[in-house]
Every structure is written in structure tokens, then in C-alpha cells.
Structure 1
């Protein structure tokens, strides 16, 4: 599994977020509260959904370490933010983009490969910026033929 190295442009998002850890993983709760309301976002750019994770500085992947997960859509502006939703901006940056095929149960294998094999053997290191999955037209929740892009923030090793 070889990634494509891309620059993600500065992008505005509107959606919902929750703070939790891998031990107390509540992504289903987050997405269940967001999906029925996503059409309230009036200035969405396209139909892609983004599952964004913002890790604390020096994230250690400890199962108890908390991070913030966002369920969002990209938007043209922040002129109207539905009640109970928040805005987020991801700054432009370098990313390794992996294509994940399979249902959510296979994601652990993909992330294990990314962080345990590819990243340590690459010319890059993890950068402290948001990582995310882009859920586009080929994404089918929990289907074996579902496809999504995994965007990992990177920088050249010094």
C-alpha cells in the first residue's frame, strides 16, 4: 500500500465534535448526531464527508489519551453555522494519502500498516496537524467494498 503525497489546501468545515479516547471510542455517537442534521449546512462544497481527528501535542497513541473527533463537511464560508455546530479550519499542509478498501473492521490493519510500517520506513515523520478520512462517493458505511481516503499529516525528517 503506497501513499500519494499531496498538499491539502486550507479548507473551512462546519460540523460537530466530541472529545474521547480509543478506550472510550464514541465516533458512532458523533456521526449519529451529525448525519440527521448535515443538510442544515447551507454552504456545503460538494457531498464529501470528513472524519477529522485532532490529536494533542506529542500524541502517544495510548488508548486512554483523549483527542477530538469531528464529523464535518467542507464549506465556502462561515456566514451561517447551524445551532449546535461549530466551525473548523484546516491549514494547508503536506499529507500522505492512503486508499482504504473495506469495512471499518479492516481500518485497524490499515492504520497499523501506516504507523507501524510505512511511516517509520519513509523519509517522513508525523506532523502535529489534523489527520482525517475523506468519505467520498465510493464510501459505503460498513460495506466490504467501501473506499475512503486516509490523510496523514507528514513532514520531511530532519
Structure 2
């Protein structure tokens, strides 16, 4: 991001250092049908995010041959794909070495 003019005063900007990242996208959730404690057949978005974090550290990382790079930062990336839509997703970026 190069233009921070639209960042609200109550928000904080952080520069993410260059690193090798594994990027995971959460399973899509239909936020137009509740999404958060919605209908019985709808997985809520926060639970989808928690499940993805769990998968990363309990399944993917141990089997990947990579290690978590504690000298870098991990982060969650929310963009227009996670707004009120039938296929909402977000990304989790994990620094690896």
C-alpha cells in the first residue's frame, strides 16, 4: 500500500517486512445468510478463521518441511473478499523458513 490518506485516525499502519510467507485462504462463508451464528448449515466466519489457524499449526506446518519464522510477523489480511457476500474469505500469512 502506498497511499495511506484513507486510513482513519483510530487505525494503525504497520510496515510488514519482506519474508517468505505461506498464504492460506479460509473456506468461503455465506455472510448474506447469517454467517455469524447464522443458519445451521452456515459455518460462521470467525469459526472458519479459527479452524484455518488450527489447520496451519496442527496439520500443515508439521507436514510441510518448513518452520515458523518467529523473527517475522504473521498477519490476517482482510480485503473486499470478506465483505458482505455469499463467498466471503480472508487470508492468513505465516512467515516460514
Is the structural similarity TM-score above 0.5? yes
* Root mean square deviation, CA, Å: 2.7
Unaligned runs of 5+ in 1: 1-10, 14-40, 45-72, 74-81
Take 2:73 and 2:11, find their aligned partners in 1: how far apart are those partners? 19
Q: Between Structure 1 and Structure 2, which shows a larger proportion of helix residues? A: 2
Unaligned runs of 5+ in 2: 30-44
Q: Which runs of 4+ in 1 moved over 6 A?
A: none
Count of residues in correspondence between the two structures: 80
1:138 corresponds in structure 2 to 81
Q: Between Structure 1 and Structure 2, which shows a larger proportion of strand residues? A: 1
Q: Normalising to structure 1: TM-score of the pair?
A: 0.42
Distance 1:124 1:12, change over 3 A: farther
Distance 1:116 1:88, change over 3 A: same
Q: Normalising to structure 2: TM-score of the pair?
A: 0.65
